[in-house]
Structures are given as structure tokens and as C-alpha cells.
Structure 1
Amino acid sequence: MSTDALWDFGRGSGVVALVLVTVSVVLGILTRRGEPVAGLPRFAVTEVHRNASLLSVVFLALHVGLLLFDRYAQLRIFDLVVPFAGDYRPFWQGLGTVALDLLVALVVTSLLRQRLGRRTWRAVHWLAYAMWPVAVAHSLGTGTDAFSAWFLAIAAVCVAAVLGAAGWRFTRKELVS
């Protein structure tokens, strides 16, 4: 695979991962309200949430893996574990590392959910609400397409979707009265 192809697929998989993480966060927010979403039963929305989450992990692994082998990105394995140590835009790349580390914590605790118990799993799962804006900031700060019209439109839709879901979630009657 050529260097340009690695770079292009690495960038593209990052965009897809961001969209899928957004879908997962939105569905996670919506299922917490306890009401049907778009007429679908809660279990169906939960399944789509899980599948979007799993797919986001796959595309994030592609994003990171492809950029590890790309000469332009010059990622090192060390950069994937230690935030803000990278050579290329260290702050923005470091945010990506933080988001990756948080996502790994979410995946590991989800795999161990039965052993951890619901309360512990839920406490760790709240990290998704920290991981998502960090991932968005990473994509806007380090992405070479960050200021292109198409990417800004995708980022705006992602932000609007999460804010809209959060607004809908917090309009519960118990919270209003």
C-alpha cells in the first residue's frame, strides 16, 4: 500500500470513527431517558448503540494502525500510550491519545461488565462523556482536513447531534418540575 493510501485511509477511518462514536454517544444518551426513541423499543436502540460502539473501535484501530505505518504521520507506539509526547502537533495528538486511552478503558470495562457489577461499570462508562469532546477537539486540531468545508459540516452535525440528544434527555418531566 502506498504512503498516500495509508495517509488517506488513516484520515478517512478517523472521520468514520468520529461519526460512529458520535452515534454511540447519542444513542447512549437517548437510552438513558427510558422512553422509546423514534418508536423503537429500548432494547433495539441499545443494540444499535453497542454495534456502533464496536464499529467505532474497529475504525479507530484502523485509524491508529494505518497511521502507525504512515511515514507522514510518524506515529510511534509510545505516542499511543503517553499523551502529549508526539512530534506532530503534540497537544492535539495528545488529545487523541487521551481519547484512545479513555476508549480502551470503556471497552475493557464493558468486556468485564458482569464481573465489575453495574455500578462500577456505569461509573467508568461516564468516561464516554469526557472522551467524545476530547476526540472532537483532536480531530479539529490535528486533522489535515479540519478546516475543509466537508469536515466542518461533519463536525457540526456531530456536535449538534450530541447537544440535541442531551437537550432531549434533560427535558424529562422529573427534571422540569
Structure 2
Amino acid sequence: MIDQAMMDQALWTLGRGTGITALGFLTLSVALGIATRSGRPLLRLPRFAVADVHRFGALAATLLIGSHMALLFFDPYAQLRLIDFVVPFLGAYRPVWLGLGTLAFDILAVIVLTSMLRHRIGLRVFRAVHWATYALWPLALAHALGNGTDTGHRWFLAFAASCALLVAISLLWRLRTDFVEYARTRISADTR
């Protein structure tokens, strides 16, 4: 028979693990989302393949975030209430860092909803809402660094730094002047 202390420890460990894994998949999805907008193949993969991995990463991150939240809701140490999942900065434990996670979740919920309604709301609205991912990812990273109990471990700091580096490289690649979207704009402006 499993005692309550072991069950609480399991909930806490699984809650942390799903959060860390979700950050990894969210990072992958954000980096690939940035990469697919370039119009260029990535590592010899065609654009549709990169887009499929981007969507898979986003779905995996969303499911892991849901698991992270559910596991920590039932964990007595975390002391989460249902309102903590929707309204930021009300939590009992590190309310600022928990609030950043709540904000990230709220943004994620809007992104998921508009992704499911993409064909009904139109591409322009979908893209405008999808830009919120540029706020979602740093909020999630800040939540992990501020609220996570593994921030004192080198492996976690290396993981977080790797996530930040991957997104930074993707952003720098997108901001290059030969980025396909910018090249089209330059061609249009040069023909005037």
C-alpha cells in the first residue's frame, strides 16, 4: 500500500517534470514557428514537415501544461486553487512567479482556441493572435525560473539556457535582412 507521503512526493515530482518537459516542447514549437515563417527549408526538411513538427510540439506542450497544472492542483504542497489557473497573482506560493505562469496559460488558451477556429476567424486574426506567442514563451520561461524548485541545479539552468539560446537563434535568423518575408517587401518597394 502506498502511503500519503509517497503519493504527495510523486505528485510533486510529476508536476515538476511535466512543467520542465512542457517548457522544452514549447521552446521547440516557438523556434519552429519562427522558422516556418521564413519560407526556407530547415535542415533539408520541407516547410510542411517543419510546420507539422511545430504543431506536434505545440500540442505536446499544451497537453503537458494541462498535466502540470492538474498534478500540482492535487498536490497538497502547491496549494493551488481553481482561480489560480485563470486569474494571475492570487496564489499563495510565490504569487508573482505563479502569476506569470497563469498569464502564460491564459495566452496559451487564447492561442489554442484561435488555432482551432483558424478557418472561421480568418488568417489575419489567427496570425495577429499568434503573435502573442512572443509574450507567452518568455512568461513561461520566467515562471519556470522563478517558481521552479530546480533552479538551484546546474542541469536545469543549462536546460533553461539552451531553451533561451534556441529561441534567440530563431529570432536572429528571422530578423536577418534576407528573410523571405522581408525580401518580398524589399522587392515590392523597389518596383515602385
TM-score normalised by L of structure 1: 0.97
Cα deviation, 1:16-61, whole Å, max 9, x if unaligned, reads: 0000000000000001111110011000000000001000001001
Matching residue of 2:72: 67
Given that 1:98 and 1:134 are in contact with CA atoms closer than 8 Å, whether structure 2 keeps it comes out as: yes
Matching residue of 1:52: 57
How many residues align? The count is 177
Matching residue of 1:76: 81
Unaligned 5+ residue runs, structure 2? 1-5, 187-192
Matching residue of 2:47: 42
Matching residue of 1:105: 110
The equivalences for 1:75-154 within 5 A come to 75-154=80-159
1:18 aligns with 2:49: no
**CA shift at 1:157, angstroms?**
0.1
Moved more, 164-173 or 110-119: 164-173
CA distance in 2 between partners of 1:146 and 1:79 (Å): 22
Cα deviation, 1:73-100, whole Å, max 9, x if unaligned, reads: 0111110011000000000000000000
| Alignment RMSD | 1.3
Is the partner of 1:173 in helix, strand or coil? coil
% identity of equivalent residues: 52
Is the partner of 1:96 in helix, strand or coil? helix
- Please identify the structure whose Cα radius of gyration is greater: 2
Matching residue of 1:170: 175
